[in-house]
Structure formats: C-alpha cells, structure tokens
Amino acid sequence: MDKSVLLKVNHLKKTFVKKTRTLLKRKKTDVFAVNNVNFEIRKGEILGIIGESGCGKTTTARMVMRLMKETSGEVWFDGVDLCKLKESETNKIRKKMQMIFQDPYDTLNPGMRVVDILMEPLNAHEKKLEYEEKVKLVKEAIESIKLKPAEDYMYRYPHQLSGGQRQRIAIARAIILKPSFIAADEPTSMLDVSVRAEILNILLELRKKMGLTMMFITHDLSTASYMCDRIAVMYQGRIVEIGPTQKIIHVPSHPYTKALVSVVKDLNYFIKNRERLILDGEVDATREAVGCSFVTRCPHQVSVCHSKSPKVESLGNGHEVACHCHADLLERTS
C-alpha cells in the first residue's frame, strides 16, 4: 500500500434488511445502501463525497469510522484493515480517527457542561493525564475553534450556546485528541447561512495547522468545491465519478454530475435544459441495478446501460468515471 495514502476503501458494501408486516404475512426487502465503493484519501487531503439524500454517503462514513459493520469489503487505515480488527483493537485506533456529526443539537449531551463534554475523549484515551493537564487541553481546543476566552464558554451547557457555537464545540471534541483523520458529515447543513463560512474556514485552518486528512460529506457542490481537493460523486450506493475538484466542476463527465454542476452554475439554464440534463424519477435503493444505477433517470441511455454495469474508466490526472456514454457526451459538449 502506498505510504502517502492514509485511507483506502476497497469494494465496500452495506445491505440492510427492511422488514414490513401486513395482515397476512411478513416481508423482508434488501436495501442496497452502499454497493461496491472504492476510493482512497492521501495524507493531508480533503476528499468530498457528494450526492443526494439516500445515496449512501453517511453510511459509507459510518463504516469507515467503524460505527457500523460492513456487509463486505475492506477499510484500510494507515496500513491496517479495520474490518479485521477486534473491538478492543479498534478502540486503540479511534484516537486517530474522529467524526463531526451533522446535528450539533443532538450530538452534545444537554446535561453536561462544555468542559465535561470535551474531557470525555481525554478520560477515555489519555487516562494518565492529570486533571489540570486535561483542563489545559480543553482550553486550547476551545480557543482553536475561535471561542475566546475559553473560560467564557467551558462552563456553559449546550442550551446556552448558539447553533454555530455548538458545532464549534463538536469540532473541538473531534480534534482534542489530535487525530490524523476526520470524517465530517455535513457539518454545516443544520446551521444558518451566515455562520457556515466561519465553520468551513475553521476546518481549513485546522487542516493546515494539524495536517489533518479529511473526508467531507455534503449534498452541496458549492461547499465541496470550496473545501475539497478532490470530489467523489455518489449515486444509489456507487461512486459514479471521482477526480480533482476543478475537473469535476469544469469538466464533468457523468450525466448525474453534469446535472449537479448545472444547478450550481446557473439554475435558469438547468430549468431550461432539464430534459437534456436529467430525467424525473427517484432513487430506489431496494432495487439492485443490473446495468447502470442511473439508467432510469438518464436522458442519454443506450441499450447497454440496461444490461451491463459500467466499469470505472480513467480520464487521466486522477479523473475517473463510470458511464458507458461519457465519451459521446464529452464530444457533444466540446
């Protein structure tokens, strides 16, 4: 494994069983949440994973962070396959991997003060430290997320903080152990627009200061373009396109990516050309696609799209796409 790669995911899958009950019988339906996902993140890099709700972004992150067990596949972190570790062995790795969750209102215990919330990771992983040393680290963490002086915030309860302040505390909790990797699951989606940029800039500053590697999950392409070095576009449990941010934004090759980019660039253009960009329809995760997962909504589909799953093809410079028609689409737009 390349030593410059911190995280590598191979053929990751997650299938849930949905149980429904009628008057006459019970029914079990497989839900294909993540289906054969592959990607890698190099040290110091931010990889964005973008897609609509239900595409498998958060499920992928939870498997990477070992908060959920995969159906099959591998998650290599710093040369170790996390999927083969026992729980006790996984706990030793957790200090290096931390997660920032989407909703700061749900992730902070309302009955605990900020100082106690931030001290929990230290109590779990730095048991040898004296209490005074832990308090010092708590203060440093609070001030690193632009809440100064720390004494004004560390003895408050979560309900005494604004939404933006709560998410900053959630970030402080993630970095207090000085991890090398952070998974951020839509960390600004629950916040007012006025404070989103502040949170994003804090994450970028921490990345530079601490040398963090990050997986940044979002449904907002404009946010991903601001934050990320590379972007992976996910649809119905699969990555359909991945590459450098500028390539994804300016030279999108998959029809789904083209639609996403069109919305960001010019909403009027998207509305006017909607039929050419994307068909109506919804994601059905209970149906395992025989061919292309996007075929039911794609305006450019051909016969092979219904019968054969597209292979991931390299377009050069780290840009990859899974689409039977990407070459024809590139010719039409060039």
Q: How confident is the model at residue 24 (pLDDT cuts 50, 70, 90)?
A: confident
Q: In this predicted structure, what is the pLDDT of residue 29? A: 82
Does residue 273 fall inside a structural domain?
A: yes
**How many CB atoms sit inside 10 A of residue 18's CB?**
11
Does residue 88 fall inside a structural domain?
A: no
Average pLDDT, the chain: 88
Res. 266: pLDDT tops 70: no
Res. 30: pLDDT tops 70: yes
Tell me the residue type at 304: V
Q: How confident is the model at residue 26 (pLDDT cuts 50, 70, 90)?
A: confident
Does residue 306 fall inside a structural domain?
A: yes
Q: In this predicted structure, what is the pLDDT of residue 298? A: 82
Res. 28: pLDDT tops 50: yes
Res. 12: pLDDT tops 80: yes
Does residue 268 fall inside a structural domain?
A: yes
The pTM assigned to this predicted structure is: 0.89
Does residue 179 fall inside a structural domain?
A: no
Per the structure, the count of domains in the chain is: 1
Q: In this predicted structure, what is the pLDDT of residue 194? A: 82
Does residue 239 fall inside a structural domain?
A: no
Res. 285: pLDDT tops 70: no
Res. 280: pLDDT tops 60: no
Does residue 256 fall inside a structural domain?
A: yes
Instruction: Tell me whether strands 181-185 and 213-218 are parallel, antiparallel or unpaired.
Output: parallel
Q: Across the strands, what pairs with 19?
A: 28
Q: How confident is the model at residue 294 (pLDDT cuts 50, 70, 90)?
A: confident
Q: Which residue has the tokens 């390299």?
A: 314
Res. 33: pLDDT tops 60: yes
Q: In this predicted structure, what is the pLDDT of residue 334? A: 46
pLDDT tens for each residue of 84-124: 999 889 988 999 999 999 988 888 999 999 999 999 999 99
Q: Please state, in angstroms and rounded to a whole number, the distance separating the CA atoms of residues 74 and 5.
A: 15
Q: In this predicted structure, what is the pLDDT of residue 278? A: 57
**Token pair of 118 as six digits:** 């931030």
Structural domain including 264 reads 252-334
For residues 302 and 325, the answer to whether their CB atoms sit within 8 Å is yes
pLDDT tens for each residue of 312-332: 899 999 999 999 887 665 555
Q: How confident is the model at residue 268 (pLDDT cuts 50, 70, 90)?
A: low
Res. 40: pLDDT tops 70: yes
pLDDT tens for each residue of 216-263: 999 888 899 999 999 999 999 999 999 999 999 999 999 899 888 887
Does residue 40 fall inside a structural domain?
A: no
